[in-house]
Structure 1
Amino acid sequence: MIRLLKFFWWSSVAAICALVLGVSGAFLYLSPNLPSVDSLRSIQLQIPLKVFSSDGKLIAEFGEMRRSPIRFSEIPPQFIQALLSAEDDNFLNHYGVDPSSLMRAATQLVKTGHIQTGGSTITMQVAKNFFLTSERSFSRKTNEILLALQIERELTKDEILELYVNKIYLGNRAYGIDAAAQVYYGKSIRDVSLAQMAMIAGLPKAPSRFNPLANPVRAKERRDWILGRMYKLGKIDEASYQAALAEPLNARYHVPTPEVNAPFVAEMARAEMVGRYGSDAYTEGLRVTTTVPSDTQEIANKAVLKGLTDYDQRHGYRGPEARFPGRTVAAWTHELARQRTLGGLEPAIVTRVEKTGLQVLTRNGKEQTVAWDTMKWARPFINTNAQGRAPQSPADVAQVGDLVRLQRLDDGSLKFSQVPSAQSALVTLDPTSGAIRALVGGFSFEQSNYNRAMQAKRQPGSSFKPFIYSAALDSGYTASSLVNDAPIVFVDESVDKVWRPKNDTNTFLGPIRMREALYKSRNLVSIRLLQAMGIDRTIDYIAKFGFNKQDLPRNLSLALGTATLTPMEIATGWSTFANGGYKISPYLIDRIESRNGETLFTANPPRVPQGSEDNAGLAAPEQPISTGQVPGEPAGSFDQTPAPQAPAVAERIIDGRTTYILTSMLQDVIKRGTGRRALALGRTDLAGKTGTTNESKDAWFSGYNADYVTTVWVGFDQPETLGRREYGGTAALPIWMGFMGPALQGRPEHPPAQPEGILSLRVDPVSGRAASASTPNAYFELFKAEDSPPSVDELGNGTAPGSPLPADETTPMDLF
């Protein structure tokens, strides 16, 4: 017996020693490969990129992982109790490993031959999530155990829990408990109910199996089991338990809701951030503040929507997008679920046609009324220039089962509409710095991601003429110079080709002052000015505004706006007219911050110097454009804050007196020319110019005061005519007015300051020369001091600068 006891004793000692030696050997073998637990203190969780307006409103969020890290002190105590009840109720007592859980997992493995559970504690899950893979093997489990022991030695329980709740995947791209609360309930974890906490606490075990959106029955069973555990463990009282059990499973999918509708702006910011930081831009929790205020962007959105809708409805109703007659309400609801809202226009299916309007089924499953008065515009579309007879009743417009589009008005009522076939782009810049203040790249980003404001190169038509006139004013011409508005023929004898440019009305006014020629948009005057100045010299001059010479045709058609330019390029060039002669570069990102709120980048664009009107004729030194980058630091650095930089000064590219005179001429476009409709805004500080290309394929309006420069384009993606009687003044100008009116509302008038060296003289309207006291119908005109015209007596019978060419002139076509 004694021998038997000794045998068992020594066998036990040997087994224990073998176990100790085995564990020690495994530790010695595996420990050199274990990562340092210290790295957990500085771990960088993946956080999406967020883009904000200049006033701090969310525009968009980019990144595969939705995560909102939360401090342990911010976690509701009841959630911690729910989580521990579900995942590790002995968490506060063990040292990283729970032997009973491991034994239970081992027993299940022996009985079934398959791994049922891993017996992991929360600490072991932290070790796996941060350092290991999801591979199911004994070596990985051993590493997990050893790491858990190390983590417990070096971190507090609170730190371990904070790491765990911010790292775990909880379904629907939500990582961490706060992101999950946002996704399933649209609010922070701090604001959810006890039942909702229990539902989220049940997700780590199997995010897909217990997902309340995909498997609501299983999710509720899991939630109720956790509530029962909490009650059994004494974490909640019976009243709270019963109330939570009775609460319905009210989870639904919530996406981060933008506070500002600016998808084209968001995409531009995203692309620039990826260019700076690569794929890290999506995961480093960067916060981007743009130069776009939320109020001006919303004004721009409404202006484009209304302008395109008004244009579209002038040309008739093209019919429903689809027809689903004879379907059930359930089938209609299914079809509507497949449709998207485009440009604010909601899809709906007609369920009943009445004398007073339509009954429609909307995407939210409700039936609403569309009044007949909102449908009277819907004459049948025949082609761009023709429509059918006006409808006499709702039955002439729609039938039951029609898929139609509706605009929801501010009072909640619905207005009959359709998705416009034409497109538009709007760009607004701050002329003193180039900051983008509003940008719309098309009717709907959901319909097409193509950013027409930045990418669509189209002919600007007459809205390009101010650059020709600016070159003329800097070449010795004046606003009163006479130029012959008369026919001219260009002949290319080598190919027997003739070009006879004409004005849009096919009329000719003879000798005409440059000021009048601009506001009347006389094509022949622009051509003669370009011909007199020389094409190469003029292109060199215009390129200073930031245009690529490759986009400027080397022939006289340049005077008619046949260059191919984007709305952004046009707005950038026009900014020089608005700011007194300085070149600016448009920019969108004003500031970039790290996940910790540290400033990584602050824009420092070349700006117009204050008081520049006092030295309008002088050239400011050219300054390099600042990137806000730390010298020697790569673009993707998140560790250093850029050093403060001196403000960059914009380069003066043309005489400030030239822009002042040109602005007064462009103000006449609005006062008495093709932009007269803008007089309805009731401001005297606005200047601008319409533009319409051949066959009305492109319609433009560019204009400004000293606060904003705004360019609007309207046309089709595949160029085709906008229709008869559609010009820059009818298609684009209303959108420009729809923006500039509200954007400038409440702002004082802000015309440019008059620079030194400007004279105002009385001029003879017939000769363009300085008028004597007895000259009839004389008017005041602005001149540069050195370009003031001589009087009739001084000139005798001579000619003034820019005097008319012979009306019957024929010019060799090599100039063209």
Structure 2
Amino acid sequence: MFACSARHPCCTGQLRPDRSLHCTPPLRRTHVPRARKLIRYGALIACAGVWWMAGLYLYLSPKLPEESALRNITLRTPMRVLSSDGALIGQFGEQKRKPLQFADIPQSFIDALLAAEDDGFFEHHGIEPLSLLRAVSELILTGRKGSGGSTLTMQVARNYFLTLDQTFLRKFTEILLAFEIEARFSKEEIFELYVNRVFLGHRAYGFEAAAETYYGKPLAELTLAQHAMLAGVPKAPSRNNPLSNPEKGKARRDWILGRMTILGMIDDRDRLLAQNAPVTAAFYGQVVEVDADYVAEMVRQKMVERFGNAAYNDGYVVYTTVESKLQQAAHDALLKGLRTYDWRHGWRGPERRLAPREEDTPEQTLARWQEALRAMPVIAALPPGIVTTIDEVGATVLTQSGDSVRLAWEGDLNKVRRYRSVNQTAAPVKNIEELLSPGDLIRIREDASGWRLTQVPKAQSALVSLDPKHGAIRALVGGMGFELSKFNRATQAKRQPGSNFKPFLYASALEAGITPSTVINDAPVVLDNLAAAEIWRPENDSGKFYGPTRLRDALAFSRNLVSIRVLQRVGVRPFIRYVESLGFDTEDMQANLTLALGTHTYTPIEIATGYAMLANEGFKVEPWLIDRIENAKGEIVYAADPLVACPECLDASVSTVEEVRMEDILGAEVPEVRAAERVMDPRAAYIISTFLNDAIQRGTGRRARALERQDIAGKTGTTNGPRDAWFSGFNRDLITTTWVGFDDYGPLGRREFGGTAALPIWIDFMREALPAPRPAPPMPPGIVRLRVDRDSGLRVKGQPDNSLMEYFLEESLPDWQGDSGGELGNGSIEQIF
């Protein structure tokens, strides 16, 4: 049998079988099956593809990162500024990032991320072939990426080494690099690389930074719902983050929770609880643990000066000398002191008036007020509020959170005095309508008794606290609020210190031979002011004159006329040379008698540095802030080497500084020290310190007795106007200077002195900052204690009722009472009129 061809003659009947022509059937045509052809063509294509892929690999492989580059991956990590005890002070950088170790990542977050991005991560070797084949096919056909296919490893390759171009060449490079990464790193290391690099919106890079940005907490403290929310952000950081689009973020979160259930990571109960959880995200800035903006800015400037722009991105960690407890106490004390000073001078009225408009509904009015509050910053820890209603018993105030609080009439509003001038306030208001109206934008604060009306102070202040042993800055506040003014008054504001500078005049007097019991007349003095071509008639702050006054009492009670006469005796030029030898800047210092009243300008930190000499037996230390700098690997790239006040180093029996047990001085073992220069006679420093102890116990600083300590010494300072109020005080462990004034040099008002405006800040700070009392430092050699008459300052025998014990330099002893006169410094009354 054969199959007949339609065109063959035998089959068409044109030839019969009985004819002579032998009719044989045609040969059968052989057909190649279609499947075999496809296999053949597929093999050819595959071979071509293999050759093409091999060529592509040979082309791309030299361009892949070297193994060293893979192993030395660095993150663009911001600079972090820490206190000495590790509290975060500030963070600077283009990207917010806080790297995590795999061991610190909570399991619920690991599960959520794997469910969202790559549930086979711990099984595959860098790629998922089926998902990748689908994605690559779409790239070949369309030239665009249409569906996912990237594993976490591939995303690490892309995030660290490649561009975001959606091309086949980049995708193939990504695959090759994923294999390299899998060969070089463990799965845990790859997971770390991913969670620390991925962008998650709002300048947050890495999930720890995202957790702090959206929830104000570390990743380890978040809930399952929050973990799932964050795990959904990488797919579309701008659309899926919980702030920009909480609805889409929640939908993505709930899908991830469903995937986790399917994969057996959580059960239905946990899924339902998490899916029903509200979206709680809000924008949180850097999680700063202590208020030290001015300190952070000082560090930032130093770091940029040292490292350039790399300071912002190379992950430096800067440890400062600031102690978090002391810094926070300084910040709080300064704000309290300014609020108290400001409130004494009366309330200036609301910041703005947003009265209800007739055409607005109550809902529209409330919305307008809420919008206004959202735009108002919290200043000096004082939140804004808008008065919504008033009645006989108080006022209702809308806050930024949308809640309402009450200001009581009795005990608060009925005591408010209106501001008239810096020297005058009005009588207390008689009814609330004189004070507040609906729509008034005001400031409020909360204390133990409830909410109170307040206002943002207009005066400014600064505080700086040093360790006198080596000058380490323990606390520094440069103003009421860094958000208001970045001008650092602690280091930049040159102001007249007034009587706060007198201790250095009196120290020069002791070294010049004047004794603590020298009696000098506190009486009017009239001098020509040659610079101003006028007569100068200086006075005491009280306007009174106190007659013959011993040198000790003259400093303790800040007698201006005595100080002028002391400077006349010491000499203006010698005094300038003396303070220059102490390390004070004397450039442009006016060589006249006004120097006795502290007219040359200095910054608070310069004054504090000077007082450190009184606390450390006369050594010149320099203030310093940065203790050490670590790079991203934790290696120390800088360590401070401060000058140290080291009396033992000057002992004749000690040949080298290294022989001194510096751990006894600094409280910790150290390899070497640099001994500071002694610039003040330690005996003068000791005696002046006793003068300043008297200033606290019975003089201008007696408010400080509230601390109930015998080991503190200090001095007030007030300038004409008064425009500047100062207090500097110390013990052997800490020296602190406070200043209060206006940036525009406006007057502080009547009855405002160093003891009323600046000293309360010092007291509140030192109450928290001072360590437990220690025994008094030993009296330096070369000092003699003698009994003298209170009135004449002359040496007496026995123990007469009108006598007291006094310290003297052994070479400058007073005469015996009854002897005939003597040189200045030997107990005589100085007759300068």
The alignment's TM-score, normalised by the length of structure 2, stands at 0.87
Report Cα offsets for 1:118-140 as digits up to 9, x if no partner. Answer: 64332221111111122333433
Classify the secondary structure of the residue corresponding to 2:396. Answer: strand
Residue of structure 2 aligned with 1:727, choices 743, 748, 753: 753
- Matched residue type, 2:335: L
Q: CA deviation at 1:219?
A: 1.2
**Correspondence for 1:217:** 247
- Matched residue type, 2:763: M
**Correspondence for 1:330:** 367
Show the 5 A alignment for 1:307-318.
Answer: 307-318=337-348
**Correspondence for 2:811:** 786
Residue of structure 2 aligned with 1:96, choices 126, 151, 176: 126
**Correspondence for 1:813:** none
Inter-CA distance 494–603: structure 2 relative to 1 (3 Å threshold)? closer
Report Cα offsets for 1:388-440 as digits up to 9, x if no partner. Answer: 221123332211111111122256x2122111111111122222221222222
- Matched residue type, 1:783: F
Q: CA deviation at 1:214?
A: 0.9
Asked whether 1:748 is paired with 2:773, we answer yes
Structure 1, gaps ≥5 residues long: 624-642, 809-816
Equivalent-residue separation in structure 2 for 1:465 and 1:699 (angstroms): 14
Equivalent-residue separation in structure 1 for 2:374 and 2:259 (angstroms): 39
Q: Is the 8 A contact 2:342 2:457 kept in 1?
A: yes
Residue of structure 1 aligned with 2:440, choices 395, 398, 402: 402
Asked whether 1:51 is paired with 2:76, we answer no
Show the 5 A alignment for 1:606-685.
Answer: 606-609=643-646, 645-685=671-711
Q: Is the 8 A contact 2:518 2:829 kept in 1?
A: no
Report Cα offsets for 1:610-652 as digits up to 9, x if no partner. Answer: 668x97x9999999xxxxxxxxxxxxxxxxxxx9741232221
Classify the secondary structure of the residue corresponding to 2:715. Answer: strand
* More deviation, 95-104/161-170: 95-104
Q: CA deviation at 1:509?
A: 4.4
Give percent identity, aligned residues only: 48
Asked whether 1:687 is paired with 2:687, we answer no
Q: CA deviation at 1:155?
A: 3.1
Inter-CA distance 750–341: structure 2 relative to 1 (3 Å threshold)? farther
- Matched residue type, 1:360: V
Q: Is the 8 A contact 1:546 1:572 kept in 2?
A: no
**Correspondence for 1:475:** 512
**Correspondence for 2:4:** none
Equivalent-residue separation in structure 2 for 1:156 and 1:762 (angstroms): 81
Q: How many residues align?
A: 785
Asked whether 1:255 is paired with 2:285, we answer yes
Asked whether 1:86 is paired with 2:116, we answer yes
**Correspondence for 1:368:** 405
Show the 5 A alignment for 1:314-463.
Answer: 314-326=344-356, 328-372=365-409, 373-410=411-448, 413-463=450-500
* More deviation, 530-539/464-473: 530-539
Residue of structure 2 aligned with 1:556, choices 593, 596, 599: 593
**Correspondence for 1:207:** 237
Classify the secondary structure of the residue corresponding to 1:696. Answer: coil
**Correspondence for 2:738:** 712
Q: CA deviation at 1:76?
A: 4.1
Inter-CA distance 118–536: structure 2 relative to 1 (3 Å threshold)? farther
**Correspondence for 2:25:** none
Residue of structure 1 aligned with 2:325, choices 286, 295, 310: 295
RMSD value over aligned CA atoms? 3.2
Inter-CA distance 163–316: structure 2 relative to 1 (3 Å threshold)? same
Classify the secondary structure of the residue corresponding to 2:291. Answer: coil
- Matched residue type, 1:184: Y
Equivalent-residue separation in structure 2 for 1:138 and 1:114 (angstroms): 9
Q: CA deviation at 1:764?
A: 4.1
Residue of structure 2 aligned with 1:305, choices 331, 335, 350: 335
Inter-CA distance 527–215: structure 2 relative to 1 (3 Å threshold)? same
Q: Is the 8 A contact 1:303 1:738 kept in 2?
A: yes
Q: Is the 8 A contact 1:621 1:651 kept in 2?
A: no
**Correspondence for 2:359:** none
**Correspondence for 2:665:** none
Classify the secondary structure of the residue corresponding to 1:171. Answer: coil
Equivalent-residue separation in structure 2 for 1:274 and 1:204 (angstroms): 32
Q: Is the 8 A contact 2:622 2:643 kept in 1?
A: yes
Show the 5 A alignment for 1:97-246.
Answer: 97-108=127-138, 114-117=144-147, 119-246=149-276
Equivalent-residue separation in structure 2 for 1:78 and 1:666 (angstroms): 62
Classify the secondary structure of the residue corresponding to 1:448. Answer: coil
Inter-CA distance 480–41: structure 2 relative to 1 (3 Å threshold)? same
**Correspondence for 2:65:** 35
- Matched residue type, 1:282: Y
Inter-CA distance 681–204: structure 2 relative to 1 (3 Å threshold)? closer
**Correspondence for 1:639:** none
Classify the secondary structure of the residue corresponding to 1:258. Answer: coil
Report Cα offsets for 1:439-472 as digits up to 9, x if no partner. Answer: 2222222222222111111000111111111111
Q: CA deviation at 1:287?
A: 3.2
Equivalent-residue separation in structure 1 for 2:391 and 2:548 (angstroms): 62
**Correspondence for 1:524:** 561
Inter-CA distance 438–113: structure 2 relative to 1 (3 Å threshold)? closer
- Matched residue type, 2:438: V
The alignment's TM-score, normalised by the length of structure 1, stands at 0.88
- Matched residue type, 1:762: R
Inter-CA distance 169–494: structure 2 relative to 1 (3 Å threshold)? closer
- Matched residue type, 1:458: R
Report Cα offsets for 1:217-267 as digits up to 9, x if no partner. Answer: 111222222233334445444444444333333333333433322222232
Report Cα offsets for 1:53-72 as digits up to 9, x if no partner. Answer: 33333333333323232333
Q: CA deviation at 1:311?
A: 1.2
Structure 2, gaps ≥5 residues long: 1-29, 357-363, 659-668
* More deviation, 18-27/764-773: 764-773
Inter-CA distance 205–562: structure 2 relative to 1 (3 Å threshold)? same
Classify the secondary structure of the residue corresponding to 2:77. Answer: coil
Q: Is the 8 A contact 2:385 2:397 kept in 1?
A: yes
Report Cα offsets for 1:2-42 as digits up to 9, x if no partner. Answer: 78989766654443332222212222222222212443333
Equivalent-residue separation in structure 2 for 1:619 and 1:382 (angstroms): 65
Q: Is the 8 A contact 1:620 1:652 kept in 2?
A: no
Classify the secondary structure of the residue corresponding to 2:587. Answer: helix
Equivalent-residue separation in structure 2 for 1:500 and 1:620 (angstroms): 54
